[in-house]
Structure 1
């Protein structure tokens, strides 16, 4: 299915990588659902900028009832079901190497919070969208990971571990859902410049990344968003269960 015929849900779509992903899909003619939890103003501004092919919907992805309601609202609005899901929502986390909890301080509740946002959130959206995808024999799911679980230059214990778990989740879902024409893949950016989550990162850290990256630049959200489009496009129709690292070559897998 061409992107222009797809209905795309982007969780955490009001800011940062989520907003750039929304813009990228809208640019290609897709109908988009901008999921947000707290940033209503940004979500509605983005929807207004895009126009009739955008719908902003508040839902906590950790709550299956709210997610089911969001999918119903999207189908009522567009008259066709969601075909494509980008699981991008990030719950209560900032890339702050100074305030980051080390091995002595990090608690299970910190891990649990990130697991809830990353893995449970993705489970909820997939289960909400799967019946329609199965019926259509088509679905595209892209989970957002990180290159930090391959190269933890900063030990963000809770966040990085949840994203590593999300890769396992991605591959199990890819195996299970492929028979229905549904592909499940992951896109893993590096530390992006600039998002709300990376705003606490110092210039020194960004300069270190820039110097260590073969392209000699820090990846920006729009560049990662373009890679997400690949997994939704017909060009990736035989790609399933893969993790694409988009960081200018900092991590080569």
Structure 2
């Protein structure tokens, strides 16, 4: 199905990367469901950019199963059609500042469980809430947002990286499970982006170091990363599932 004919749910779309993903899909004509937890003002403003016929901002904590189910039902009622594309972008509170993160000798398991709950639990809730609508539509596309730290763990984001690695495993097992139902599951993984709310604490010298290590000699922007997500939602990827596309200027090459 063409992107302009899709209803796309983006979690964590009120700010940062999620907002850029929402803008990319809206630009291509998709009807967009902007999920937010705390960023109501910015999410509503972003929805207003596209207009009420194309976008709606809905609050839900993705870790709350009932709130997610209510959000998906409200979106389907608003657009008179089910959600066909889910982009799991929502992230528990996290600051990308290696100097301020817990190192191996001090990190506690509670930090891991917080990330697992938001990253894996949140994705599970949104996927399961959207599956009945995808079955009704006869197809679906699920796009999970990952990280290149699986392959290049240059900073000690132990809890964040472990949760995203688990999300990659879920991407592949769900792709195998849901493929017979014509539902594809893929991942888009980035590195440090210049600049999101989460990466605002990153020292400038880190950005410069990363840029120097890429073939393109630049740090990927949120808008560039967001555009790559369009591929997995488009008909051009109709035979692609269970894959992880790294979008980081070539810093990590699979």
TM-score w.r.t. length of structure 1: 0.99
Task: Say which SS state the counterpart of residue 198 (structure 1) adopts.
Answer: coil
Aligned-pair CA distance for 1:135? 2.5
Distance 1:93 1:48 in 2: 28
**Preserved contact between residue 35 and residue 58 of structure 2 (Cα < 8 Å):** yes
Gaps (5+ residues) in structure 2? none
Measure, in 2, the Cα distance between the counterparts of 1:50 and 1:14.
14
Render the CA deviation track for 1:65-117: whole Å, top value 9, x for unaligned. Answer: 00000001101110001000000001111101121000111111100000011
SS of 1:239 mapped into structure 2: coil
- Give the Å deviation of 1:20: 0.6
Which whole-Å CA distance do the structure 2 matches of 1:22 and 1:131 have between them?
Answer: 23
Q: Does the CA contact (< 8 Å) of 2:8 and 2:84 recur in 1?
A: yes
Aligned partners of 2:154 and 2:55: how far apart in 1? 37
Alignment partners' CA distance in 2, 1:57 and 1:135: 22
CA distance, structure 1, for counterparts of residue 73 and residue 142 of structure 2: 18
Cα RMSD of the aligned pairs, angstroms, is 0.6
Give the corresponding residue for 1:42.
42
Q: How many residues align?
A: 253
**Distance of 1:105 and 1:51 partners within structure 2:** 48
Contact 2:82 2:137 in 1 (8 A): no
What does 1:135-150 align with in structure 2 at a 5 Å threshold? 135-150=136-151
**TM-score normalised over the length of structure 2:** 0.99
**CA distance in structure 1 between the partners assigned to 2:112 and 2:59 by the alignment:** 24
In structure 1, the residue matched to 2:51 is: 51
Question: 1:149 offset after TM fit, Å?
Answer: 1.4
- Aligned counterpart, 2:250: 249
